[in-house]
A and B are shown apart, each in its own frame.
Chain A
Amino acid sequence: MSKREPIAEGSEWTFEALDAFEAEIGRIAADKYRLDTYPNQIEIISANQMMDAYSSVGMPVGYHHWSFGKQFLSTEQRYRKGHIGLAYELVINSNPCIAYLMEENSSTLQALVIAHACFGHNSFFKSNYLFREWTDASAIVNYVLFARNYISECEERHGMEAVESLLDSCHALMNLGVDRFRRPRPISADQEKQRQKEREDYLQKQVNDLWRTIPKKKQKTEEKWPRFPAEPQENLLYFIEKNAPLLEPWEREIVRIVRKIAVYYYPQRQTKIMNEGWATFWHYNLMNDLYDEGLITEGNIFEFLQSHTNVIYQPEYDSPYYSGINPYTLGFAMFSDIRRVCENPTDEDRRLCPEYAGGDWLETVHHAMTNYKDESFILQYLTPKVIRDLKLFSILDDDADRAIQVTAIHDDDGYRQVREDLAEQYNLSKQEPDIQVWEVSLRGDRSITLKHAQRDRIPLDEDDAKEVLKHMHRLWRFDVHLESLRNDEVHRVYHCNDDKVWIDSGASDKSAATS
């Protein structure tokens, strides 16, 4: 390989150097590794601006809400106290792909960040199936702009307080604003704006029809009213948008905006390990390539390795620094191990991963990145070697048992169990409570009943659940009931009416108490 002049000497970066890094890394990424990316838009920002970017949670612009202010204040405080360093970069799933780079970064770090964000994350956004199906990178910036303007208009027209409390309520239900099993239509700001007016009218008409109380002619009063909704609904926000009896058209539009943004985040919530792992895997490879070609110096590569080591540091479970499994570590270890299994498979690998052991590693990592999410990725690609390296172990915490039990460790008997448990840990539908709209009393008191199916006897967090019910009531504006089912028997029932929230113990709990 021909040695060339290094791009940057010393630690100060220049715009020319960034240019050159982008071009060189882009060349290697495309030619050698076939990374398919959106065009990059690199923005240099200061630490303060980075905190701003943090608090708008990965959106280039966001509507105004106090919760973002809270986020900002907390980031600022922790940064000022030195509890956290700010991320070197922040990247947005948009087309062009916007990456924020901190001005404080040294030239080595900028190269690292360009490799990580502008080629790692960027290619993940463009190719992973969840992002392809759930988000439209070219529309998101315009959409959030539309959302922000719409919400400001509402604030002017209906008052800040009204809009704020509506947003509070929507945020409380945001995670339940997604159709898990149906693909959404991509969003487009222009269409939204255009259709918004018609939709307002149409929606309101539909709602009016639903709640019409004047009996139709010749209808037999004894006839049983059809059950509504006919099927349980998992998308609470959608259900509210379409059916809540008393919401104003603008309120429905805001519910819709929050729902659309929830959909945009949905793929990100399911691919933390993969997304970070993929980006880390590529910055590691790309930086080494730059070094091999002589484009960065020995000093650069040592500085890089130190940062890289920090990024993938995994404290042990009993360390004071432990705060869960580091997605960078796990993801990087898994992608690196896929490459190892392809290039230098052991007998164990040949036995356990026959599909790709000894295969083409580049092909295999691309396949994994494109077609999996965290849960399925772990089930498919977490090898015993990674489990051994990280010394993973599984515990079972059963409240019927006095002690916590270790159910599996990193040995031959245990790795399957560890893998399954870890995959479950990243399965959103297992980690978040399963709550659905069960029934609406159309002809009665207009109350709405939700059902929560407990998994493994795990109840709802009661304090939070009560607060969320108040928000639900604020949107529905009639009584709200929530039945929490344990093994198909009612375990708890939450009620919320105009002025209070209370909990009843269900049948199963009472019988347990008497027996």
Chain B
Amino acid sequence: MAFLIIDRRQQGKQKSAVNRQRFLKRFRKHIKDAVTDAVNKRSITDMERGEEISIPRKDISEPIFRQGKGGKQRRVLPGNREFVRGDRIDRPRGGGGSGGGNASNQGEGMDEFVFELNQQEFLDFMFEDLELPNLVRKQLKDSDSYKLVKGGYLREGIPARLNVVQSLRGAKARRIALGGAIRREIKALEEALEALEDDEDSVERGEITGKLDRARRRLNQIPFLDDFDLRYNNMIQQPTPTTSAVMFCLMDVSGSMTQDIKDLAKRFFVLLHMFLKRHYEKTEVVFIRHHTKANEVDEEEFFYSRETGGTVVSSALELMKSIVAERYPTDSWNIYAAQASDGENWQDDSPKCRDLLVKGLLPLVQYFAYVEISSGREQELWQTYSEIPELFPDRFAMRNVKEPADIFPVFRDLFERKST
């Protein structure tokens, strides 16, 4: 019996990947809603994992003509213990006709189709349709870094770029082409020699052997490698977009900012950071916190250390400006900033902030988002800032957030892909 054992384990296990994508695509609306829900409910530390999604089974069913309930239906069941012929059993509640057999044994309702979205898919859905403003323009216009890419072969070049495979391939082709006629001649002579074998005519034999020797010598004289064969890799310069981004997180830590407000702010920063990480090869984060005085801190301190005191927002903006000038030249960095505050500011400081933004910072950054976290009416800073969006409609945006559930919608709203 002929048979075969094949080990397939090393082969791709994602045969169904395409079908999976098709499924996700078809039910994207359902999934998106579920993802938005999930993001709102999650704690800030675990944004980056998959999610269990459930879709009403009704919506994804594939209908076929089936027999419905009603009429006369007969069934055979196993495991009779107590019944005898003629017994009458009350109908189980809910099931009018088809009787048992379809009960769910899966621990979840039959009405929901539940499946797991993996981390990548989850993030894809989460950030779908979102795009950081100015991203494209920045990449094309301001790119002045280049990378070398292969672009065919050249006949001339520096030895370091010699392409051995191409050169030898060319040489071989040349040798075959040039040697063809000689090889044919050799073959003919060899046959002639063989035909002579029986005869003793050594004159003719000598003549043929002589010709054969000359032909073989000529064949050997074809050079193995000629200058003509050499090929060099051609490298062309291709402009590459700036792939680094820095994100400035600015937060007020004055006495009026409670831990709850800080947590809200953190969620917003987390989202922004994840988003940037997906778009740029390299992202850095600078944390600047301020009360009356601003300083650059690490993440832990940024979110959790306690400070008290008044509020001078402009100090943070000044510091950001000087850090940009010092460390993040705008020709090689995409700069994003997100400022979170409860909106309180020292009164005389707000106009100063506005001027700093309009004149100093906004021309440098890709995007500046201001999120005010307050449950009451608009605060000092909001009122002052509200003149800016008109001046920089595509760089500056501000939104008000009241509770955790607002964060993600506001985030989406801020960065929604503009259909231009």
Chain A residues near B (Cβ < 8 Å): 15, 18-19, 22-23, 26, 30, 37, 39-46, 48-49, 51-53, 55-56, 64-70, 72-74, 76-78, 80-81, 83, 96, 100, 103, 118, 164, 168, 171-176, 314-325, 390-400, 402-411, 413-414, 418, 421-422, 424-425, 431-433, 435, 452, 454-465, 467-468, 471
- Quote the shortest CB–CB distance from A429 to chain B (angstroms): 12
Q: Does B84 make an interface contact (CB < 8 A)? A: yes
Whether A458 and B73, one on each chain, are in contact in the complex, defined by CB atoms closer than 8 angstroms, is yes
Chain A residues whose C-beta falls within 8 Å of the C-beta of B75 in the assembled complex: 394-395, 397, 421, 425
Whether B19 and A64, one on each chain, are in contact in the complex, defined by CB atoms closer than 8 angstroms, is yes
Known interface pairs A403-B91, A405-B88; A40-B8 also in contact (CB < 8 Å): no
Whether A321 and B16, one on each chain, are in contact in the complex, defined by CB atoms closer than 8 angstroms, is no
**What are 22 A-B pairs with beta-carbon distances under 8 A?**
A15-B7, A26-B1, A40-B3, A43-B6, A65-B22, A66-B25, A70-B60, A103-B9, A172-B62, A172-B64, A173-B64, A317-B78, A321-B105, A394-B76, A397-B75, A398-B73, A400-B72, A403-B89, A413-B85, A433-B67, A458-B68, A462-B68
Q: Does B136 make an interface contact (CB < 8 A)? A: no
A166 to B21, CA, bound (A): 18
Whether B70 and A391, one on each chain, are in contact in the complex, defined by CB atoms closer than 8 angstroms, is no
Chain A residues whose C-beta falls within 8 Å of the C-beta of B2 in the assembled complex: 39, 96
Whether A406 and B83, one on each chain, are in contact in the complex, defined by CB atoms closer than 8 angstroms, is yes
Q: Does B377 make an interface contact (CB < 8 A)? A: no
Q: Does B152 make an interface contact (CB < 8 A)? A: no
A-contact 0/1 string along B116-149, CB 8 Å cutoff: 1000000000000000000000000000000000
Whether A418 and B76, one on each chain, are in contact in the complex, defined by CB atoms closer than 8 angstroms, is yes
Chain B residues whose C-beta falls within 8 Å of the C-beta of A168 in the assembled complex: 62
Most buried by A among B14, B19, B61: B19
A464 to B69, CA, bound (A): 12
Q: Does B178 make an interface contact (CB < 8 A)? A: no
A15 to B4, CA, bound (A): 11
Whether B66 and A460, one on each chain, are in contact in the complex, defined by CB atoms closer than 8 angstroms, is yes
A394 to B72, CA, bound (A): 13
Q: Does B327 make an interface contact (CB < 8 A)? A: no
Whether B70 and A406, one on each chain, are in contact in the complex, defined by CB atoms closer than 8 angstroms, is no
Q: Does B393 make an interface contact (CB < 8 A)? A: no
Whether A22 and B5, one on each chain, are in contact in the complex, defined by CB atoms closer than 8 angstroms, is yes
Partner pick for B63 among A56, A64, A176, A467, CB 8 A cutoff: A467
13 new A-B pairs (CB below 8 Å) besides A83-B107, A393-B77, A399-B72? Answer: A39-B3, A64-B22, A72-B16, A80-B116, A168-B62, A322-B79, A324-B101, A325-B76, A391-B78, A397-B72, A404-B89, A457-B71, A465-B63
Closest to A486 in B: B71
- Quote the shortest CB–CB distance from B133 to chain A (angstroms): 31
- Quote the shortest CB–CB distance from B97 to chain A (angstroms): 6
Closest to B1 in A: A26
Whether B1 and A464, one on each chain, are in contact in the complex, defined by CB atoms closer than 8 angstroms, is no
Whether A46 and B13, one on each chain, are in contact in the complex, defined by CB atoms closer than 8 angstroms, is yes
What 6 pairs across the A-B complex have the smallest Cβ distances? A316-B79, A69-B23, A458-B71, A457-B71, A69-B19, A467-B63
Partner pick for A407 among B20, B64, B85, CB 8 A cutoff: B85
Chain B residues whose C-beta falls within 8 Å of the C-beta of A22 in the assembled complex: 1, 3, 5
Chain B residues whose C-beta falls within 8 Å of the C-beta of A405 in the assembled complex: 86-89
Q: DSSP class of B's interface residues: helix, strand, loop or mixed?
A: loop
Most buried by B among A51, A77, A81: A77
Chain A residues whose C-beta falls within 8 Å of the C-beta of B6 in the assembled complex: 41-44
A67 to B60, CA, bound (A): 9
Whether B103 and A322, one on each chain, are in contact in the complex, defined by CB atoms closer than 8 angstroms, is yes
- Quote the shortest CB–CB distance from B372 to chain A (angstroms): 41
Q: Does B221 make an interface contact (CB < 8 A)? A: no
Chain A residues whose C-beta falls within 8 Å of the C-beta of B103 in the assembled complex: 320, 322-323
- Quote the shortest CB–CB distance from B27 to chain A (angstroms): 8
- Quote the shortest CB–CB distance from A165 to chain B (angstroms): 10
Chain B residues whose C-beta falls within 8 Å of the C-beta of A55 in the assembled complex: 16, 19
A318 to B99, CA, bound (A): 11
Partner pick for B67 among A39, A320, A458, CB 8 A cutoff: A458
Chain B residues near A (Cβ < 8 Å): 1-9, 11, 13-16, 18-26, 60-81, 83-91, 96-103, 105-107, 113-116
Whether B65 and A459, one on each chain, are in contact in the complex, defined by CB atoms closer than 8 angstroms, is no
- Quote the shortest CB–CB distance from B103 to chain A (angstroms): 7
Whether B72 and A464, one on each chain, are in contact in the complex, defined by CB atoms closer than 8 angstroms, is no
Partner pick for A403 among B20, B64, B80, B90, CB 8 A cutoff: B90
A470 to B87, CA, bound (A): 43
Whether B13 and A175, one on each chain, are in contact in the complex, defined by CB atoms closer than 8 angstroms, is no
Closest to A325 in B: B78
Known interface pairs A321-B105, A405-B86, A461-B68; A68-B73 also in contact (CB < 8 Å): no
- Quote the shortest CB–CB distance from B141 to chain A (angstroms): 35
Closest to B79 in A: A316
Closest to B65 in A: A433
A456 to B4, CA, bound (A): 51
Whether B80 and A66, one on each chain, are in contact in the complex, defined by CB atoms closer than 8 angstroms, is no
A456 to B74, CA, bound (A): 10
Known interface pairs A40-B1, A406-B85, A409-B83; A83-B22 also in contact (CB < 8 Å): no
Whether B23 and A73, one on each chain, are in contact in the complex, defined by CB atoms closer than 8 angstroms, is yes
Whether A435 and B80, one on each chain, are in contact in the complex, defined by CB atoms closer than 8 angstroms, is no
Closest to A399 in B: B70
Whether B79 and A43, one on each chain, are in contact in the complex, defined by CB atoms closer than 8 angstroms, is no
Chain A residues whose C-beta falls within 8 Å of the C-beta of B16 in the assembled complex: 51-52, 55-56, 68-69, 72
- Quote the shortest CB–CB distance from B393 to chain A (angstroms): 36
- Quote the shortest CB–CB distance from B69 to chain A (angstroms): 8
Chain A residues whose C-beta falls within 8 Å of the C-beta of B66 in the assembled complex: 432-433, 460-461, 464-465
Chain B residues whose C-beta falls within 8 Å of the C-beta of A318 in the assembled complex: 79, 100
Whether B78 and A392, one on each chain, are in contact in the complex, defined by CB atoms closer than 8 angstroms, is yes
Chain A residues whose C-beta falls within 8 Å of the C-beta of B18 in the assembled complex: 64, 69
Chain A residues whose C-beta falls within 8 Å of the C-beta of B69 in the assembled complex: 399, 459, 461
Whether B65 and A464, one on each chain, are in contact in the complex, defined by CB atoms closer than 8 angstroms, is yes
- Quote the shortest CB–CB distance from A122 to chain B (angstroms): 10
A185 to B85, CA, bound (A): 47
Partner pick for A399 among B15, B71, B114, CB 8 A cutoff: B71
- Quote the shortest CB–CB distance from B309 to chain A (angstroms): 52
Whether A421 and B74, one on each chain, are in contact in the complex, defined by CB atoms closer than 8 angstroms, is yes
Whether A397 and B7, one on each chain, are in contact in the complex, defined by CB atoms closer than 8 angstroms, is no
Closest to A401 in B: B88
A418 to B73, CA, bound (A): 14
Most buried by A among B3, B87, B115: B3
Partner pick for B79 among A100, A319, A433, CB 8 A cutoff: A319
A216 to B70, CA, bound (A): 50
Chain A residues whose C-beta falls within 8 Å of the C-beta of B73 in the assembled complex: 396-398, 456, 458
Whether B74 and A406, one on each chain, are in contact in the complex, defined by CB atoms closer than 8 angstroms, is no
Chain A residues whose C-beta falls within 8 Å of the C-beta of B85 in the assembled complex: 406-409, 411, 413-414
